[in-house]
Amino acid sequence: MVASSIYVLDLKGKPIICRDYRGDIPANAVDKFIALLQEYDDADQVPTPAFSHDGVNYVVYVDEELVLALSRKNSNVMAILLFLQKLAQELEEESIRDNFVVTYELFDEVMDFGYPQTTETKAAKPPTAVTSTVSWRPEGIKYRKNEVFLDVIESINLLANSNGTVVRSEILGAVKLRCYLSGMPELRLGLNDKVILENNGNTRKAVEMEDIKFHQCVRLNRFDTDRTISFIPPDGDFELMSYRLNAQVKPLIWCDCTVENFSGTRMEITVKAKSQFKRRSVANNVEIYIPVPNDADSPKFKTSIGNAVYAPEKNSLLWKIKQFPGGREFMMKAQFGLPTIKNGKFNCRIRIDDPDKRLPINIKFEIPYYTTSGIQVRYLKVVEKSGYQALPWVRYITQNGGK
């Protein structure tokens, strides 16, 4: 039996608390679960306690709350259900909300890296034989050169209408580390967290993070007390924390697309792409997907930068730009033939001539050394009893989010 993460939801499907043990399940998986339950409700069906969707296995136990386990492994469903049943007996929504830190510690005691340790949740501490104090890091690790690499990666989910008005936007962030450190070091990470900076009387560059989720190595009681992120890290790669920002951001790369239809036999698409970030930054590996009718053929392209290709498997025109500097604008023109004509209209599923029926343009990109939210690493300290000096490296990356 393996569970990647455990969620406790209220009966409306809103998450109360969760614990991510393995880091291999996307953050939006729980939102898909709620949508799947809604489909059952619409069809007047009773959902099964276990099902799979997009490679994620969902196992749910319904009591006064919904206790949900997510996994990518082919796990023993009955064993997970029994575990969730036992866990649900010890949890109440009001008690969870009043004791988040204690509940997180409880989750860490009953399960380690997705494997159940004990179901005696009332026990203050499990036996040493069941789980060690630092189960995620073995002793005796040695490196000739002690280094730690920290990446702050922010993904932007943004939807804008044809007038440029942003309909929906959010920033999903993650702090990822690669640790090559000897011994049993303790790390302390300081961010420009709004709560901390407010206490110091400086909020000019503060960032207010929501839905913060930590790796099990973080001392949650310390964070709950003074917002200090203190931890003994696993060896190698791991995700230290994730967060969300409900920020109003403008599109970093804006595309203006016009379509002309010539006698219903061919069409011309003109796309102007403009980068709306600072000139000293550069977006790498930009891919702009423009939907086209699924019966278009005979493509011809002309670009001021990069190259364009027809991607018929996605019913899209793909414009690739290896490097897109900030504050610049480029143009691309494409012509397509339209062989299937009926009554002067396209005989296809996608109508690109009607602005109200166009599918959205999707843009993929990556901007190094840049964050939209303004989050900053104020310090990263490494303390180890042997007293060695470690080299910390920090990198910022902004990229497109999922669809």
Q: What is the pLDDT of residues 26-43, one digit of tens each?
A: 878 888 887 777 675 555
- Report pLDDT for 351: 41
User: Within 13 Å and on the Cβ side, how many CA atoms surround 222?
Assistant: 12
Give the residue-averaged pLDDT of 12-28: 83
- Report pLDDT for 22: 83
Range of the domain at 363: 253-368
Q: Which residue has the tokens 């679960």?
A: 33
Q: Residue 126 domain-assigned?
A: no
Same domain, 305 and 326: yes
Give the residue-averaged pLDDT of 145-160: 94
Same domain, 188 and 270: no
- CATH number of domain containing 282: 2.60.40.1170
Same domain, 222 and 261: no
Say whether pLDDT at 347 is over 70.
no
Say whether pLDDT at 280 is over 80.
yes
Give the residue-averaged pLDDT of 108-121: 71
Same domain, 264 and 354: yes
pLDDT single digits (tens) 125-145: 544 333 445 789 998 999 999
Say whether pLDDT at 394 is over 50.
yes
- Report pLDDT for 340: 57
- Report pLDDT for 122: 45
Same domain, 107 and 192: no
Q: Residue 140 domain-assigned?
A: no
- Report pLDDT for 201: 58
Q: Residue 129 domain-assigned?
A: no
Please state, in angstroms and rounded to a whole number, the distance separating the CA atoms of residues 317 and 305.
Answer: 15
pTM score over 0.75: no
Average per-residue pLDDT for the chain:
83
Say whether pLDDT at 269 is over 60.
yes
Q: Residue 299 domain-assigned?
A: yes
- Report pLDDT for 199: 59
Say whether pLDDT at 196 is over 80.
no
Give the residue-averaged pLDDT of 305-310: 94
- Report pLDDT for 120: 54
Same domain, 258 and 325: yes
Please state, in angstroms and rounded to a whole number, the distance separating the CA atoms of residues 134 and 155.
Answer: 31
Per the DSSP assignment, residues forming a β-bridge with 190 are 379
Give the residue-averaged pLDDT of 201-211: 73
Q: How confident is the model at residue 203 (pLDDT cuts 50, 70, 90)?
A: low
Same domain, 257 and 364: yes
Same domain, 90 and 183: no
- Report pLDDT for 325: 96
Stretch among 48-57, 106-115, 174-183, 285-294 having the lowest mean pLDDT: 106-115
Residue 148 contacts residue 180 (beta carbons within 8 Å): yes
Q: Residue 121 domain-assigned?
A: no
Give the residue-averaged pLDDT of 227-250: 91
- CATH number of domain containing 40: 3.30.450.60
Same domain, 13 and 112: yes
Q: How confident is the model at residue 353 (pLDDT cuts 50, 70, 90)?
A: very low
Residue 168 contacts residue 246 (beta carbons within 8 Å): no
Domain count for the chain, please give it.
3
Q: Residue 300 domain-assigned?
A: yes
Same domain, 13 and 104: yes
Give the residue-averaged pLDDT of 355-376: 84
Burial state string for 30-42 with b = 16 or more CB within 10 A and e = fewer than 16:
beebeeebeeeee
Same domain, 237 and 326: no
Top pLDDT among 106 and 232 is at 232
Say whether pLDDT at 343 is over 70.
no
Q: Residue 342 domain-assigned?
A: yes
Please state, in angstroms and rounded to a whole number, the distance separating the CA atoms of residues 372 and 244.
Answer: 12
Q: Give whichever of 56-65, 209-218, 231-240 has the largest mean pLDDT.
A: 231-240
- To 5 degrees, how large is the angle CA 379–CA 381–CA 386? 165
- The percent of residues in the chain predicted with pLDDT above 90, rounded, is 38
Q: How confident is the model at residue 204 (pLDDT cuts 50, 70, 90)?
A: low
- Report pLDDT for 225: 77
Give the residue-averaged pLDDT of 292-309: 90
Q: Residue 107 domain-assigned?
A: yes
Stretch among 22-31, 214-223, 299-308, 370-379 having the lowest mean pLDDT: 22-31
Same domain, 216 and 262: no
HEC profile of the chain: CCCCEEEEECCCCCEEEEEECCCCCCCCHHHHHHHHHHHHHHCCCCCCCEEEECCEEEEEEECCCEEEEEECCCCCHHHHHHHHHHHHHCCCHHHHHHCHHHHHHHHHHHEECCEECCCCCCCCCCCCCCCCCCCCCCCCCCCCCCEEEEEEEEEEEEEECCCCCEEEEEEEEEEEEEEECCCCCEEEEEECEHHHHHHCCCCCCCECCEEEEECCCECHHHHHHHCCEEECCCCEEEEEEEEEECCCCCCCEEEEEEEEEECCCEEEEEEEEEECCCCCCEEEEEEEEEECCCCCEEEEEEECCCEEEEEHHHCEEEEEEEEEECCCEEEEEEEEECCCEECCEECCCCCCCCHHHCCCCEEEEEEECCCCCCCCEEEEEEECCCCCCCEEEEEEEEEECCC
Q: How confident is the model at residue 284 (pLDDT cuts 50, 70, 90)?
A: very high
